[in-house]
Amino acid sequence: MKPPFFQSKFDKVNLGCGGSKLSQWMNVDIQKRYCDLGEPVDLTKGIPFESGSFSHAFSSHFIEHVDYETTMLDFLIEVNRILKPKGSFWIITPDLKKACEAYIKDRCNELFKDRISRNWRYKKKINSPHLY
């Protein structure tokens, strides 16, 4: 990512935090109300911190929303870039094995349709471009 970069008073960053902000961590999200930077950050476009800014990065229930083919590798490269040498990255995701197998099987169409049928928040997204 190219400057401008933000400065953090913390040594740890919570990427794609949503409403799960962590105390004593720099919380970053696409929704302004959750982002400690005062403005939203689209993490699929880069992470706006200088290289080697953090000793720890954390991401919970975000990576499964990143497109595998177009942005996941770039996101992981960016996480590596902002980490200090020997820094750690902890990822929490719902059943990664299930998600990977679903992607290989039918690009997650069956998994996505199941999620829609069980969760009212996703019913409006039935015509999602993610369905192939």
CA–CA separation, 57 and 27 (whole Å) = 10
Quick check: 123 and 101 in contact, CB under 8 A?
Answer: no
Specify which residues 57 forms β-bridges with.
13, 89
Higher pLDDT, 73 or 132: 73
Instruction: Answer whether 48's CB lies under 8 Å from 4's CB.
Output: yes
Q: pTM of the predicted model, to two decimals? A: 0.71
**Tens-place pLDDT, residues 61-120:** 898 888 877 888 899 999 999 999 999 999 988 776 776 777 777 777 776 676 666 554
pLDDT, one tens digit per residue, over 39-48 is: 999 999 999 9
Please tell me which residue, 32 or 121, carries the higher pLDDT value: 32
SS3 119: coil
Q: What is the CA radius of gyration of the chain?
A: 16
Q: What angle do CA 131, 70, 39 make, to 5 degrees?
A: 95
- Place 123 in a pLDDT band, splitting at 50, 70 and 90: very low
